[in-house]
Amino acid sequence: NAGVMQNPRHLVRRRGQEARLRCSPMKGHSHVYWYRQLPEEGLKFMVYLQKENIIDESGMPKERFSAEFPKEGPSILRIQQVVRGDSAAYFCASSPPTGTFVDEQFFGPGTRLTVL
Amino acid sequence: DAKTTQPTSMDCAEGRAANLPCNHSTISGNEYVYWYRQIHSQGPQYIIHGLKNNETNEMASLIITEDRKSSTLILPHATLRDTAVYYCIVRGRSSNTGKLIFGQGTTLQVKP
């Protein structure tokens, strides 16, 4: 059973370009979370999605950032017009469907975004 | 979600038990204590969680005080591979609040 997969693992963009980060949750998981870790800082929650729905986006920057989790395919975190301050590690996590209490989130290996 | 306080760093000798404390004095009755760790830039890894009873699994033990205002994560026989940042997180029980709020955690250095 494959774990949470993220790609690319490393992404380099120039200022003003777009960055697309992909996350494939574990099989059977319908909840996806995105977290960001800036250099030398802790992990910060960004957004929580279920299939085709954004449940909590309280941690998302108001501009340039968006996330989706379509019915089919991976979850996508999209950053438009990237700036150097967006350079960070972006982690995706998944958890099983609602119904029973969600005990744990399984994290992917992360995508390291570098903005030149 | 309740706030947690952890020491910034700790050392432990290889093969000895590592005891990582966490204070969560404002925890409410339906909030659980979770522990995750992050090994050098990897994705965080779930360790254990509990409500009020002590818990044990293949990785660690969790001891929660009777008043639930603090807890201790115990790695019974620490190895060099246990060197990581350990996060204590308190989270309520709700299907709409799945997010984890990470503090600064405790950097555990296991030494030979």
Contact A22, A74 (CB under 8 A): yes
Confidence band, pLDDT 50/70/90 cuts, at residue A107: very high
- Rounded to whole angstroms, how far apart are CA atoms B92 and B29? 9
Going by their DSSP bridges, the two strands A88-95 and A10-13 should be labelled as: unpaired
Query: B11 vs A1, which has greater pLDDT?
Result: B11
Torsion of Cα atoms, B7 then B12 then B18 then B19, to 10° = -30
Angle, CA of A114, B81 and B74, to the nearest 5°:
115
Each residue's pLDDT tens digit, A71-82: 999 999 999 999
pLDDT at residue A108 above 80? yes
Q: Is the peptide bond before A8 cis (omega within 30 degrees of 0)?
A: yes
List the end-to-end C-alpha distance of chain A, in Å, as a whole number.
36
Q: Return the pLDDT at B16.
A: 96
Q: Return the pLDDT at B30.
A: 84
- Rounded to whole angstroms, how far apart are CA atoms A56 and A49? 7
Contact B98 A101 (CB under 8 A): no
Each residue's pLDDT tens digit, B88-109: 999 876 645 678 889 999 999 9
B19 CB-near residues (< 8 Å, 6+ apart): B72, B73, B74
Q: SS3 sequence, A12-23? A: EECCCCCEEEEE
pLDDT at residue A101 above 60? no
Contact B43 A44 (CB under 8 A): no
Question: Which H or E run includes B109?
Answer: strand B106-111
Q: Which chain B positions have a beta carbon within 8 Å of A104's beta carbon? A: 34, 46, 49
Query: Which residue, among B4, B57, B100, would best test binding to A if mutated, counting the most A CBs under 10 Å from its CB?
Result: B100
pLDDT at residue A2 above 90? no
Across the A/B interface, how many CB contacts are shorter than 8 Å? 59
Tokens of residue A64, six digits? 């340039």
Q: Return the pLDDT at B98.
A: 75
Contact A45 B100 (CB under 8 A): yes
A9-38 average pLDDT score = 95
Residues 4-33 of B with CB under 8 A from A: none
Ranges of residues in chain B with a pLDDT under 50 are 95
Instruction: Name which of B97, B98, B102 is nearest A42 (Cβ-Cβ).
Output: B102
Choose among A22, A28, A41, A34: nearest CA to A85. Answer: A41
* CA-based nearest distance B89→chain A, Å: 12
Q: Which chain A positions have a beta carbon within 8 Å of B93's beta carbon? A: 101
pLDDT at residue A100 above 70? no
Contact A110 B44 (CB under 8 A): no
